[in-house]
Amino acid sequence: MLGIISFVGFTALVAIISYFATRKTDESSSDGYFLGGRSLTAGVIAGSLLLTNLSTEQIVGLNGSAYKDGLSVMAWETLAAIAIVVTAIFLLPRYLKGGLTTIPGFLAKRFDTTTKTITSALFLTGYVVVLLPVILYSGSVAISGMFDIPTLLDVSDKTALVLCIWGIGIIGSIYAVFGGLKAVVVSDSINAIGLLIGGMLIPIFGLMAIGDGSVLGGLDILITSDPARFDSTGNPGQEVPFSTIFTGMMLVQLFYWGTNQQIIQRALGAKNLAEGQKGLLLASFLKILGPLILVLPGMIAYHYFDNGLASSDMAYPELVRAVLPKPLVGFFAAVLFGAILSSFNSVLNSSVTLFGIDIYKQHINPEAPENIVVKYGKIFGVCLALAAMFIAPLIANADSLFNYLQKINGIYSIPIFTIIVVGYFTKRVPAIAAKIGIISGSILYIISEFVVGPSMVKAALEKAELAGVTDVNALRLIEAGAYPHFLHNLAILFVLNIAIMLVIGYFYPRKEPFVLEYTNQVSITPYKYVNQIGIAICVIVIAIYVYFAK
């Protein structure tokens, strides 16, 4: 009962503060609703970026990967810091100079409206089909399990899951659809504080459990008992081979932090360039600390349970139940609930933005005033949320989604990133090249990763089975060597797509070179220490890898 009271109390506190912080925001205009009136400051931007990035599929999934593979999976977190620095220094100045509301909006200026529409449709498809239902499902599994909802309400597991899905979906929709971006980022910032506190409690109590009450003693036992698991470079056959850091891993990070609408929309709402850059740099530094919350608990669970869990994705929830004092369970559940809501309402708000600006205003009602665009954006958001709530219970295998999601996202992430890179760094590549690049990139990736790859892996494993190979680690190495890692494939296709676009641009160039005009929406004077702090963050990341390399 105490846990439920603390859960309700903290959740209500976030809602009340968010209401009072946003009640005076003019949300009848596109900037007011979609970008918080272009008034966001560094702390709010950083907090929202942190919470938007974190949700149950990552907290549970990445710790599950760490349970299985050790420290090498930290690349998903630490390399994000470098990608955010690149975004702060190179991409954000261009975005704010052009006064962008959506990333596809730049593509309309650089190429044409058809390119923008194709890109917006790809973003929306990825959000609707993959992200929203998965966030709802995985979050509901976590909340239902933490509070034992089936026993509490005397209902079946399936009914409890559906109730949690609709609860999270309705509350998240209220924030995102009716509050706009500012309500999202304010609630995110408050929850970010709770997540940092609650997230750090798990490894602290976990290390104390290992070290008979001593955090440092537990850490020493954890390291000395299996030092190979603290190797930052990992081993062949693991989820994140070290070589992928230099190929597709950085491309995925640059897409996610530099061009993904649900993420970069926070920085697009900055009151000026300097404030946006400070927010990104603060978020970048916090990502360096991310492995303490997203990797270390999984490694603790490996030692605590003596590698005895039936599934690696049970590592985090089992560790929480085992080591967290009961009075703190409600607070931690509230923090986790905030992370779930953050991811859900951030994706939903970005979807509403893409539809309102790039679909409704562009193709359905070009003469619509801004308040009508916002109105129909909200209606679309409600329909989207309802669709996600109906689809979410149909997801059958949520506990293996983390790595699978990265593969699915590759269908649209790298093709979109490719045309944005070419768009900014060339002046005469034409619109037809962008259309061919984004369509060919998606099709080639689907064929490579979901048709050719699985067939080659299957053939290699069948051959190994005939040869009498039964060792799990040996089979894992055979599987890894049968076909290039999907991150390597992403890099190969990225280079191929750029080559295709440049060749088209060489033979069929634009008549007039593209010039990015300054729209005077906000000041684009950069933060004076952005380069120095950015370099320092990159040096810290490299130093971490060198220190833990075996």
The whole-number pLDDT of residue 4 equals 63
Q: What average pLDDT does the segment 56-70 reach? A: 84
The whole-number pLDDT of residue 535 equals 96
For residue 36, list its beta bridge partners: none
Averaged pLDDT of the chain? 82
The whole-number pLDDT of residue 361 equals 79
User: What are residue 40's phi and psi, to 5 degrees?
Assistant: -75, 140
Rounded-to-integer distance, Cα 473 and Cα 101, Å: 48
In this prediction, residue 486 has a pLDDT band, given cuts at 50, 70 and 90, of confident
pTM (predicted TM-score): 0.80
- Nearest residue to 322 (alpha-carbon basis) of 207, 214, 224, 225: 207
Q: What average pLDDT does the segment 487-500 reach? A: 92
The whole-number pLDDT of residue 85 equals 96
Are 186 and 346 spatial neighbours (Cβ–Cβ below 8 Å)?
no
Rounded-to-integer distance, Cα 192 and Cα 144, Å: 22
State both tokens at 117: 């529409």
DSSP structural state of residue 37: G
State both tokens at 539: 């040096």
In this prediction, residue 20 has a pLDDT band, given cuts at 50, 70 and 90, of low
In this prediction, residue 177 has a pLDDT band, given cuts at 50, 70 and 90, of low
CATH number of 2-405+518-548: 1.20.1730.10
Question: Percent of the chain having pLDDT more than 70?
Answer: 86
DSSP structural state of residue 355: I
Are 374 and 356 spatial neighbours (Cβ–Cβ below 8 Å)?
yes
Bigger pLDDT: 467 vs 90: 90
Bigger pLDDT: 480 vs 32: 480
pLDDT tens, residue by residue, 142-170 = 777 777 788 888 888 788 888 988 888 88
Degrees to nearest 5, angle at CA 333 with 67 and 352: 95
Are 207 and 219 spatial neighbours (Cβ–Cβ below 8 Å)?
yes
Q: How many Å from the N-terminal Cα to the C-terminal Cα in the chain? A: 48
- Nearest residue to 103 (alpha-carbon basis) of 420, 418, 533, 458: 420
pLDDT of 399 over the 50 cut: no
Instruction: Return the minimum-mean-pLDDT range out of 186-190, 229-233, 379-383, 426-430.
Output: 186-190
**Can you tell me whether residue 236 is helix, strand or coil?**
coil
pLDDT tens, residue by residue, 83-132 = 999 999 999 998 888 887 777 778 888 898 889 888 888 878 877 777 78
The whole-number pLDDT of residue 274 equals 93
Residue 213 CB-density burial (10 A; 0-12 exposed, 13-18 middle, 19+ buried):
exposed
pLDDT tens, residue by residue, 255-297 = 989 988 778 877 888 888 999 999 999 999 989 988 999 999 9
Q: Where are the domains of the chain?
A: 2-405+518-548
Q: What average pLDDT does the segment 199-222 reach? A: 92
